[in-house]
Structure 1
Amino acid sequence: MMIDQVMELHPGIRYFHIGADEVYHLGVCERCKRRMSEENLSPQQLFLIHVKAVLGHIKNTHPTITSIMWDDMLRHTELPILMNSGLGDMVEPMVWHYLSDFRLPIDIWDKYSKVFPNIWFASAFKGATGANAYATNIAYHLDNHTVWLDVMAREGSKFKKVQGCALTGWQRYDHYAVLCELLPQALPSLGMCLMMLQQGSFTAEVHTSVSQDLKFLSPIPLNPFQRYPVPPCQFPGSEIYTSLMAFLHLDATYEEFVRDERVLTWMNDYMMEKRFSNPVHIEPILAQCYGILDGLTKIHSQLEKALKEVFYDHTVEEWLKVFIEPKIRKISDAVEKAKLQLSNS
Structure 2
Amino acid sequence: MIFGQVIFLKVRRIIQFLICLLFIILILTVYSSWLLKFTNAKKIYDNALSKQTLNDIFSEQLGFGRSDLAKYIHLDLKGAPPKANKFYDSFFNFLQNLQMGVKGVLIEYEDTLPLHGNLANISHHAAYTKSDIALIQEAGKMHRIDIIPLIQTFGHLEWILKLERFKSYRDDLSLPTVISPCINETYILLEDLLQQTLDMHPNSNIIHIGCDEVSLKYSNPACNEASTSISEQYVNHIRRIVDIVHKIRPECRILIWDDILRADQFVSNKRLLNQLKGLVEPVSWNYFTEFDNNYKFSSAWKTFPKFFTNTWIASAFKGGLHRFSMKTNTSHHVLNNREWLSFIESSTFQKDSLSAVILTGWSRFDHFMPLCDLLPTAYPSLLHSLFMFNTGQYIVDDSIYNCNDLIVSVNKDARLCESLPGLSIWSGISSLSVLLRKIQNRLKILNTIAPPFNRKHSFIRRHEMHSRLSELKFLEKDLATTKQILNRRLMELYSDDVIEEWFELYLTPTGNEINTIFVEFALVDNITTWERRPLGH
Range of TM-score over shorter length: 0.7 to 0.9
Is 2:242 aligned against 1:51?
Answer: no
1:309 to 480, 487, 492: 492
Does residue 241 of structure 1 match 2:432?
no
Q: 2:201 aligns with which of 10, 22, 47?
A: 10
Gaps of 5+ in 1: 221-232
1:42 matched to which residue of 2? Answer: 229
> Which residue of the partner structure matches residue 278 of structure 1?
461
Matched to 1:245, the amino acid is S
The 5 Å alignment of 1:52-91 reads 52-76=239-263, 77-85=265-273, 86-91=275-280
| Distance of 2:421 and 2:384 partners within structure 1 | 16
- What TM-score comes out, normalization by structure 1 length? 0.84
* Contact kept? 1:297, 1:328, Cα under 8 Å: no
Distance 1:217 1:56 in 2: 46
- % identical equivalent positions: 25
Q: Distance in 2 between matches of 1:212 and 1:172?
A: 24
Q: Partner amino acid for 1:240?
A: I
Superposed CA RMSD in Å reads 2.6
Q: Which has the larger radius of gyration?
A: 2
Matched, 1:119 2:311: yes
SS at match of 1:288: helix
Aligned-partner Cα distance in 1 for 2:246–2:497: 40
1:28 corresponds to = 219
C-alpha separation in 2, matches of 1:300 and 1:174: 27
Q: Deviations over 1:289-324 (max 9, x none)?
A: 223312322221121111111100111111112211
Range with bigger deviation, 325-334 or 45-54: 325-334
Deviations along 1:144-201, whole A, 9 cap, x unmatched? 111111122225873543110111111111222211000111122112222332x231
Aligned to 2:508: 325
Moved over 4 A (4+): 217-220
How much does 1:10 deviate? 0.6
The 1:59–1:274 alpha-carbon spacing in structure 2 relative to 1, beyond 3 Å, is same
Per the alignment, do residues 33 and 133 of structure 1 end up closer, same or farther by CA in structure 2, a change over 3 Å counting? farther
**Corresponding position of 1:293:** 476
Query: Quick one: which amino acid aligns to residue 120 of structure 1?
Result: W
Segment of structure 1 superposing worse, 280-289 or 302-311: 280-289
**Rounded Cα–Cα distance in structure 2 between residues aligned with 1:133 and 1:217:** 21
Structure 1 pair 196/95, CA: closer, same or farther in 2 (3 Å)?
same
Report the count of equivalent residues.
Answer: 322
Deviates more, 1:300-309 or 1:22-31: 22-31
Per the alignment, residue 344 of structure 1 pairs with 527
Q: What residue is the counterpart of 2:38 in the other structure?
A: none
1:189 aligns with 381
Equivalent of residue 435 in structure 2, options 232, 240, 250: 250
Does 73-82 or 107-116 show the bigger shift? 73-82
Query: 1:128–1:170: 8 Å Cα contact kept in structure 2?
Result: yes
Does residue 328 of structure 2 align to residue 136 of structure 1? Answer: yes
Kindly indicate whether the alpha-carbon contact (under 8 Å) linking 1:149 and 1:200 is maintained by their aligned counterparts in 2. no
Conserved in 2, the CA contact under 8 Å of 1:117 and 1:160?
Answer: no
CA distance in 2, matches of 1:253, 1:186: 23
